[in-house]
């Protein structure tokens, strides 16, 4: 049985937009916008969470090769702390769409709300399991962020970042309490703030002005 979405659903110059990284305690939130080429099908597109790492990596290269246009964007940790995670995610999605070198006729956004865009847009709940372009965007965003987390594992050993990708697993929470926050931890998130306070520090005083 073939796993994937129906490429016949790909519409001309419709961008799919998705994000990865709203829930983690550290690292940027990463977004992607993709306009697929109806004449160049990509077999096996699906919600990135339903694919193996090896399959995502292969599809990442194929999407970059075959898409009419794609752009990967982000909101950094300091922006998340200043704006909150929802607004930072909307900003990153906006950057992804604005970074496309082709202006889409419509942007379909995974989830239940849309960022402010200069093109028509519509939200699609669970869109990464329904819309091929959103599935492609989810793959680009996840592979990009996972690669970054693997790199941070080398810079900040002991936290297990390469494995849990920054999510609040028991291992991560234990390491956070034992080792303290790193510069890539989101100071506005409760477990990180608690780790600062346990050391007699105020997370707010360390936020960018």
Binding site, annotated residues: 18-19, 110
CA 99 to chain centroid: 15
Rounded distance, CA 28 to CA 145, Å?
8
Tokens of 192: 């990180």
Residues 6+ away with beta carbon under 8 Å from 95: 31, 71, 73, 74, 75
Structure tokens at 3: 């796993």
The binding site for a divalent metal cation consists of: 18-19, 110
Is residue 189 helix, strand or coil?
coil
What single string gives the DSSP state of each residue in 71-127? EEEEE-HHHHHHH-HHHHHHHHHHHHHHT-SS--SEEEEESS-----SS-EEEETTG
Cβ count near 57 (within 10 Å): 14
> Residue 34 and residue 18: Cα distance in Å, rounded?
9
63 with 140: CB under 8 angstroms? yes
């Amino acid at each position: 049985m073939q796993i994937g979405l129906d490429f016949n659903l790909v519409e001309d110059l419709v961008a799919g937009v998705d994000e990865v990284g709203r829930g983690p305690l550290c690292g940027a939130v990463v977004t992607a916008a993709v306009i697929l080429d109806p004449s160049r099908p990509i077999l096996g597109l699906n919600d990135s969470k339903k694919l193996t790492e090896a399959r995502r990596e292969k599809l990442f290269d194929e999407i970059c090769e075959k898409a009419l246009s794609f752009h990967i964007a982000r909101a950094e940790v300091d922006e998340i702390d200043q704006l909150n995670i929802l607004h930072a995610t909307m900003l990153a999605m906006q950057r992804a769409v604005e970074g496309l070198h082709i202006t889409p006729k419509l942007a379909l956004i995974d989830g239940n709300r849309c960022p402010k865009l200069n093109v028509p847009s519509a939200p699609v709940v669970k869109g990464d399991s329904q819309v091929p372009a959103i599935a492609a965007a989810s793959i680009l965003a996840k592979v990009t962020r996972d690669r970054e987390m693997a790199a941070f594992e080398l810079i900040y050993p002991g936290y297990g970042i390469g494995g849990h990708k920054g999510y609040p697993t028991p291992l991560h929470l234990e390491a956070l309490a034992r080792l303290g926050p790193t510069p890539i931890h989101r100071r506005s998130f409760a477990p990180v703030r608690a780790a600062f306070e346990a050391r007699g520090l105020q997370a707010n005083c360390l936020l960018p002005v």
